[in-house]
Structure formats: C-alpha cells, structure tokens
Amino acid sequence: MADDAAPLRPGAAPLFSVQDVSVRFGGVHALSGVSLEVAPHEVLGVIGPNGAGKTTLFNVLCGFVVPQQGELSWEGRRLPRVRPSRLARHGIARTLQGLGLFDRMSVLENVVVGAEVHARSGFWAGLAGLGSRDEARLTERARATLARLGIEEYADRLPPSLPYAIRKKAALARALVAEPRLLLLDEPASGLSREEMDELGALIRELTESTATMLVEHHMDLVMTVCDRVMVLDFGRVIASGTPAQVQDDPAVLAAYLGNAVDHAQVEHSAGTATEVR
C-alpha cells in the first residue's frame, strides 16, 4: 500500500479499500498510486481542485473505469474486476451527478427498480425469486424509503415534473432502498440550496448507523461538517488526508486550492467571463 493512504482510526478494520490505483488517459495521469480505506459506519470525503482526479476515482470504485494498476478489496478480499452491475452484490450503492432517473416512471417505480436490482443480484437472498408477494414487499420498502427522505408525497409523480432537489432525493432513495453497507455519492450537494445541503448533511450522518459513505464533493462546508476523514487529491495524487480540521490546515491543501483559484482567476480575466471558482 502506498505511504499516503488515508489512515483509518486505530483499530478500525476496512470495509472497502483501494490499493495503489493508477489511471492514465493517454498522456494524462488522472490517478497515480492512490490508496484509501473506508471503515464501516464512517464518512470519507474526497476533495481536490478541478481536474484532481475525483471523478476518475469515483468511476474506478463503481467499475466504470478499469485502472491500469492497483487493487480494490471488499472486507479484506480482493475484487478481481469491479463491474457496475455487480456492486449491488456486495451491498454497495451509488448516486451519480446525472441522477439517472427514468423519466417515464414514477418516483416510486424508480425506487422499486433500484430495489429489484439488489434483489436480483442476490443481495437480499430471501427476495431473489421475486414472486408477486415479494414485489409487494419491494414496493412497501420503496415507499418506506421515500417516507424516510420526506418525499412520499411525490411517489406517483414523474421525475421531470419535480424540482431538482426532490429528484436528487429520489435518486438517493433508489440507492438507499437496498440498505447498502457502502454508499458512494458523487457531488450530492450540487444544485442544492444551503438549507437542503444542511438537511443532506444531517441525513448522511444519520445513515452512519447502518452504512459507510464515501462522497466526492466540491462544497467544502458539507465535507467539513459531515466527514469523519477527508482525503485530498491534486493532479491525481493524494496530497493530504486526515480529519477535516487537519486537512483544512494542511499547507499542501491550501497551496493546491490557492493555485487552482489563481489559475481560474487568470482564465476568467482573459476570457472576460464569470466562472465559479472551486
């Protein structure tokens, strides 16, 4: 394992780990020797300036990108090849930036589909046959998940007719319906208001009773309030990891973000356009 792997709390055994992963796209080293571990019930945040490799790392964890080098392990056992369709088998669920809801299905049906994927994957052994009684159980479970997120009133609505924040919650419900042991969230706060972000933060903390969460996120406020540990990427490498307070004060992190802000400011100045500096 690389020396800069984000360390777990002493005594914590990892649920999921990534060892020495490298990804190249042509001449671009998107990830170089990245290692991390996620312990049960913890929230790990991955941050970094634009182009740092966060999305690539997320895609490796989901099986969308196959690394040229490195290994992934689940509960100490090596995963030979991660495939998106097999994540559910381990009890891993994810939400993507693009939400991926089916527009012509109601919110409830979208969540039931998520539950079915897990039932078929064998994650819920008792539901694997999916008879009609089981369908009813899945629907019941989906309704309970919508209620948990406070959006049961939208169960019969189609996603395109709903505000973005509700659609985001529907996508989260679809992931949560499986009661995952690890939840992977890609920019869960994007497009949310301050209040909605606070609500999301409280929910992520509440979920630690049953699940570990790894989130890739730009909103520093959310990361600093909900994460137990934070890992910082820059140019595909881990430049810092530790508690939010440790990472916030790390000179390498400040330099990486400052450099990024300066680059953006120069681009904005030369292009004469307003761009969010992240």
Ligand X SMILES: Nc1ncnc2c1ncn2[C@@H]1O[C@H](COP(=O)(O)OP(=O)(O)OP(=O)(O)O)[C@@H](O)[C@H]1O
Could you tell me if 233 and 221 are in contact, meaning their C-beta atoms sit under 8 angstroms apart?
A: no
Segment interacting with ligand X, rule: CB under 6 A, options 43-51, 86-94, 140-148, 166-174: 43-51
- Cα gap 230→232, rounded to integer Å: 7
Q: Which of 38, 54, 167, 247 forms a contact with ligand X (CB under 6 A)?
A: 54
Segment interacting with ligand X, rule: CB under 6 A, options 47-55, 99-107, 147-155, 198-206: 47-55
- Cα gap 166→226, rounded to integer Å: 21
Q: What is the 3-state composition of the chain as percent helix, strand, coil, each rounded to the nearest 5?
A: 40, 20, 35
**Cα separations (Å) of 217 from 76, 114, 226?**
27, 23, 11
Q: Give the x/- contact pattern for ligand X in 103-122, rule: CB under 6 A.
A: --------------------
**CA of residue 55 relative to chain centroid, distance:** 10
Segment interacting with ligand X, rule: CB under 6 A, options 52-60, 83-91, 237-245, 251-259: 52-60
30 binds ligand X (CB under 6 A): yes
Rounded to a whole number of angstroms, the minimum distance from the CB of residue 98 to ligand X is 13
Rounded to a whole number of angstroms, the minimum distance from the CB of residue 54 to ligand X is 4
Q: Which is nearer to ligand X, 53 or 159 (CB)?
A: 53
Residue 243 sits at the vertex; the CA angle it makes with 242 and 249, to the nearest 5 degrees, is: 85
Rounded to a whole number of angstroms, the minimum distance from the CB of residue 97 to ligand X is 9
48 binds ligand X (CB under 6 A): yes
56 binds ligand X (CB under 6 A): yes
Could you tell me if 70 and 20 are in contact, meaning their C-beta atoms sit under 8 angstroms apart?
A: yes
Binding site for ligand X (CB under 6 A): 25, 28, 30, 48, 50-56
